[in-house]
Amino acid sequence: MVVEETYLKGCYVLTPKVFNDERGYFLETFNEQVFFDKTGIKTRFVQDNLSKSSRGVLRGLHFQKGNNAQAKLVQVISGKVLDVCVDIRKDSKTFGNYFSILLDDIDKKQLYVPKGFAHGFIVLMDNTIFSYKCDNFYNKASESGILFNDKYLNIDWNFNEEEIIISDKDTQLLTFEDCFEL
């Protein structure tokens, strides 16, 4: 497995070694020891989540606050997404910056999103199955988020905004400035 840090400290792209033959393929999606050896991060995932979405669905930008913050390892099982994470660590040199990557079922890359990041994705193919592991349990009282089209962040979702399908809940999220009292 190749593990490369992005320009956001602590955020990594994982590219697995895929073994293909006439039967199909095999890959190791996560190895705690290899991940630790390459990143120095000791993690233990306690919750796995799965979503299936149609093209144009945008989920996010979500995060958990305080002691309920979550690191995530995200991947696409089937289909394709543009995955986005935003550094919301106030003491970070990259506070307010975002990283985006195409994740799909072809190259099978994954993204490790550390605690202190907001996360979201837009679905680029119908019937996309998205999976993510979390190192902390979901806590409704700690959930928060930032509007996907926040002017301060200026995220390029590479998608026509009129075609985006978003939940009512996600349209009520705060702006970046309101979240962090800038």
Give the model confidence (pLDDT) of 114-142 as tens digits: 999 999 999 999 999 999 999 999 999 99
Q: Is pLDDT above 80 for 84? A: yes
Contact partners, residue 150, CB within 8 Å, separation at least 6: 61, 175, 176
Question: Which is it for the CA torsion 146, 92, 137, 40, positive or negative?
Answer: positive
Q: Quick check: 96 and 179 in contact, CB under 8 A?
A: no
- The HSE-up count of residue 99 (CA atoms within 13 Å, CB side) is 21
Residue 111 reports pLDDT greater than 90: yes
Contacts of 22 (CB under 8 A, 6+ apart): none
CATH topology (fold) of 2-174 = Jelly Rolls (2.60.120)
Residue 182's pLDDT is 59
CA distances from 156 to 78, 100, 117, 133, 160 (A): 23, 9, 17, 25, 10
Verify cis geometry, omega within 30 degrees of 0, for the bond prior to 61.
yes
User: What share of the chain has pLDDT > 90, as a percent?
Assistant: 98
Q: Enter the pTM of the model.
A: 0.95
What pLDDT, on the 0 to 100 scale, is given for residue 181?
Answer: 77
How high is the pLDDT of residue 26? Answer: 94
Report angle CA 9, 38, 5 to the nearest 5 degrees: 30
What single letter denotes the amino acid at residue 91?
A: D
- As given in the structure block, the two tokens for residue 147 are 């509007």
Active site residues: 62, 132
Residue ranges of domains in the chain:
2-174
